[in-house]
Each structure stands twice: as C-alpha cells, then as structure tokens.
Structure 1
C-alpha cells in the first residue's frame, strides 16, 4: 500500500560566523542594548560576509538534514527553497541542487517572506500525499542584512542571516496533523522590500525601468498588531483541523520575529512559558530561516523528542500568515 502521509525525519541549520551584538549597533544608530533587548528580545544577530551566499548556507543546512534523515542526496525528489533574498532573482534552488549532487531532484524557489517555511511545509506535503514524490528537502534561508538600511534603527536592530532545512518523507502515518494558510494583500504596504525602477531612456520615446530595490521598510506597530491578533486565530484553526486541543501541544514554535509577539501569542493561547521555543536573542529575525533554525537547534539539544507535537506559525510580508501542527519524526 502506498504511503500517503508525511514525516519530518531530519533537520539542519547553518549561520554565518560573524555576529553583531547590540552594543556594537550603538556605533551605527542612536540606540542602546537595553532599548533593543526590552522591545525585541534580541541581543545579537549573525551577518553574512560579502562572499557568503544563500546557496552556501542552504547547502550546509541541507547536508545536515539529509544526514539526519539517513538518506543520500540522490534520494531527494524535490527541493523547495523558501527565501525572499535569493543570490539570483531567477532563483537559487537549482544551484543548491547542483552543490548537493541531488541529480534526481527538481528544484524551485518559493517566496512567502517570513511565512515561507510554513507555506513550504504545506506545499511539500501535497506533493507527497498525492504520491508524486517520496523525499522532499525543504529549506528556509535568508540574508536580510543586505537589504537593511543600517541607519534606520526601526529595522536594522531586527534582522539577521541564516538557513534551516528539513527532510520530509512519505510515511504510513501522517505527521502533518493540520494546517491553515492565509494572505491579505490589502496590508502589503506594512512590510516591504520594494523594487522602485529607475526610468531609463533607451531611444527617443522609449523608456524602461532599470531594476533597483530599496531597503526594507516596516510599520512596526501595524505588524505587531497583525501578528498578535492573527497568529493565535490561525493556530486555533489548525488545531481544529488536527482535532487537537491547545493542551495537547508539546511545543509552540513561532517565527522568531520579536519576543513580545511570542509572549503575547503564548498568553492568548494560554500555553505555559516552558513550552515556547525561542532563540531569537542569538540570531534576530532570520525570516524564512527562523522556524527551521530554531527547530534544528531544539532537536539537537534533545529538547524536541520523537512524537512531540509542535504547533508552528509563520507571519510576515505579503501580508501572509499560516500555522501547521505536526509531530516530529516518524
């Protein structure tokens, strides 16, 4: 009988060696370690060197995930790269495929900003549940430091760089228990990394726009309000689809955006503090990388154990948000 369920069987992560702590940021903008820590929970962030790429970080994380899953790169059928900051606007998944030697895999990028990993998890599950693929490599990776205005203290204190990956395999028991995905483009202006083309005249009367991206802009108050309202709702809906109660969750794993958001969501759902996974103090907001990075760290620390039930939620630009309830391991 064909296995039409899914299991997450391996994880991996990679971050740049270079870090920038809050004290160092005071040399760039008018701020303090206390101001940043109280408002965000972040104490330092990892920053990619000019020579480091999404492909490098993603490949390193993927190798760890593939090894933990006990498969080889040539066993991988599909590679999904969730990112908003590819090395190449045409996509970076194929280059990762080449570096891994995953010759059988089809690869493509998926863009849903900080929700990318959750959207990617649900997408991967559909390919497996329909019997098309057996082994999927899902990567969340971003290098946001390249798109930050380092003179804007509202945004530069928040973001860091990194990559996380998981292997998702066909399984007799379905470990993706429920999910819910949402989008609201009417709030798109709250968080942007926008292209603002520069008018360029080719010949008389013929103009084109020359590609030019502006730094990240964010309405922090609106994003906070959105996350605190919508994330508990979407987790509740995913739990309903999974036929589970909040009390049955072993871990709450949210996108690592801001500790105040994590605390507010936990309180609204009435989840004990010891069940919340948080590592943003060391990495900042790594966008699509944040959930798999925190997941891998917790697995390797022995915190998350096989069969633990995890409620995860991503939220961010688009605006997009979503939640998934899954069991770790087979």
Structure 2
C-alpha cells in the first residue's frame, strides 16, 4: 500500500472583493487592468467575526461528508496557518474538539505559507511511515485579509481567504513520492506582517494591518528557485518532464505562473492556472487547484502530478504525487 492523498475539499468565505470594488477604491485602476496583472476577478474575504478555525472547520466538514469519512478514524490533525485564532492555544487543538475527533489524536499547528501544502504532505507521510498515525487530517487555512491595509493595492488585489482539507492515508493507487524542500530566511523581510507577533508588540507598535510584499524580490526569488527545485525533485524520483502528466504550482498570480511555465518549457495543456474566483489563498492554493483540476477533468486517478510551492519564508518545496 502507498501513502497518498485520498480526498480533498475546500471552503471559501461568502464575502467577495471583486475587481469592480477595487476599481472604485483605486483611481486609475480598471477591472481589466487588475485582471491582466493578477489573473484574478474575485477574492473571498473572511468577515470580521470569521477566523481560521471557522474556515478550517467547514473545509473539514465538507471532506467528512462528501467522502464518507468518520471523525473517529482521524488519528492526527495538522493545521498549516499564519493567521491562527490565537498564538496559544494551537488552533488544531480547537479543531480537534470542534470536529469531534478522538482525544487520542495528535494535533498541532505549523506556521508556513505558500509552500505549506508540500511541507504538510512531507510531515504527514513521515508520521504514517513511522507508524505514529494512519489517517491524517491535513488542513491549510488562511485569513491574510486581517493583516492587509485596505489602502495597499499591491497585496489587496492578490490575496484571498480560504481553507482546504485533505485526508492523507494508505491507498492502493494514490502515492506521495520524494520531496525537494528549501529555505532562504535571508529574504524573510520581503513578505512579512511585521506587527503580527510578539516582537512587534514588544516595540509597542500601533500598526494593526501591515502585510508587506516586495513583489520584484519575490518574483526574482521564484524564477530562480522553482526550475532548480523541479530538476531536483525529478532527479530524486528518477523521472523526467515527459513522465509528468500535469503540473500544479502555488497559484501566486497569473503573470508569475505563465513566466515560470515558459521558463520551464511546460506545455499549456499540462499546466494549471485558475485563481480567477479565489485569488491567492496562500497555503490553500495547491489543494484548491488540485480539487478544481480534477473536477474539470484535467487530472484523473493514476496521473502523475508535480507540485511546487514557493513564497513567504522565503521557502519552497516540490513533490510528485500519483493522483
């Protein structure tokens, strides 16, 4: 038996921030201009009283209900988020109770963003390989909107809130293969919410919403590391580009993705870009894209799919799965 992704579901908040809304807010920006720069028309935004645990809960409930999964069968909960309900206690513990998952299950949060789903697969696979768990609920959830200054169009036009839930377990067909993971913390300042932690509070800052992204630096970082990571993960799995049926990258923005596709010589029909109605949901973009691609018939059971995450950290990760 392999260790693989057995099912994925996702949840998006009902509130929508559209390009039409943004065009009204920012003079000189039209709906068309925003779409051409980002590939996004709508972003889902959490309400003021809606938090990561809520989004994660609804994603997990959809997973359980749509795939006949019993909460009692879950023996580990992993939540990847950079906007938890609290710094303590861990939001995964809150979810364990809210989802009626047994008290014998392990649970923890991991703070990682754009590459989170890849790292999550690595952690889940390791826990199963070492017989610590058998059925892992892997959740990615983010409410970056709570960090965003409403006057900062550089990030307001890109990020949306959302959550995804996946069951990682033994399977006859689906498989998670080897990984390539990497970190360059010297670039941490290029994508940061500097008032979100204890360090900023110790300086008595009054800034409440200050998500900052240095777009050109993130672009340069991505263009450098992603092709290398793909080459590394293909080598580790003894595969070539021709062996890959489909490529799913972190859905950062359409301009960056199309540039990467061309740089890596990936045919359009093998490459997924679809964030038009979700925006960049950070840790959840890859699982959401996988779910959408399957629904559209772009990937099918048994296909070999290469996944790449990259961004905040700075961090990156690649792996290959059999769907």
TM-score by length of 1: 0.90
CA distance in 2, matches of 1:198, 1:186: 22
Q: Is the 8 A contact 2:57 2:98 kept in 1?
A: yes
**Counterpart in 2 of 1:179?**
179
Distance (whole Å) between structure 1 residues aligned to residue 60 and residue 231 of structure 2? 31
Distance in 1, matches of 2:320 and 2:174, equals 11
Moved more, 259-268 or 167-176: 167-176
Distance change (3 Å), C-alpha of 1:299 and 1:105: farther
Equivalent position to 1:229, from 189, 210, 224: 224
Are 1:321 and 2:316 an aligned pair?
Answer: yes
Change in Cα spacing, 1:119 to 1:209, as seen in structure 2 (3 Å) is: same
Contact kept? 1:193, 1:213, Cα under 8 Å: no
CA contact (8 A) 1:246 1:269 kept: no
Match of 2:255 in 1: 260
Q: 1:80 aligns with which of 78, 81, 89?
A: 78
Structure 1 counterpart of 2:152 = 152
Shift of 1:265: 1.7
Deviation at 1:270, TM superposition (A): 1.5
Aligned residue for 1:133? 133
Q: Counterpart in 1 of 2:161?
A: 161
Alignment correspondent of 2:302: 307
Q: Check conservation: 2:114, 2:250, Cα contact below 8 A.
A: yes
Structure 1 counterpart of 2:234: 239
Q: Taking structure 1 as reference, are residues 298 and 172 closer, same or farther at Cα in structure 2, changes over 3 Å only?
A: closer
Unaligned runs of 5+ in 2: none
Q: Give the direction of change, closer, same or farther, for the CA distance of 1:66–1:242 in structure 2 (3 Å limit).
A: farther
Aligned to 1:293: 288
Aligned-residue CA RMSD (Å): 1.9
State the alpha-carbon separation in 1 of the partners of residues 310 and 149 from structure 2.
22
Maintained 8 Å contact 2:63/2:69: no
- Please name the residue that 1:203 is paired with: none
Q: Report Cα offsets for 1:101-150 as digits up to 9, x if no partner.
A: 11132111111111111111111110011122111111111011111111
SS in 1 for 2:61: helix
**In 2 relative to 1, CA 153–85 (structure 1 residues): closer, same or farther, beyond 3 Å?**
same
> What are the ranges of 5 or more consecutive residues in structure 1 without an aligned counterpart?
200-207
How many matched pairs?
Answer: 317
| TM-score computed with the length of structure 2 as normaliser | 0.92
Equivalent residue number for residue 204 of structure 1: none
- Return the offset for 1:300: 3.4
Whether the aligned pair in 2 keeps the contact of 1:124 and 1:168 (CA below 8 Å) is yes
Q: Assess if the C-alpha contact under 8 Å between 1:11 and 1:68 holds in 2.
A: no
Q: 1:100 — aligned with what?
A: 99
Contact 2:146 2:209 in 1 (8 A): no
Tell me the equivalent position of 1:58. 56
Say whether the 8 Å CA contact 1:250–1:275 is kept in structure 2: yes
What is the CA-CA distance between 1:301 and the residue it aligns to? 3.7
Q: Secondary structure at the match of 1:24?
A: helix
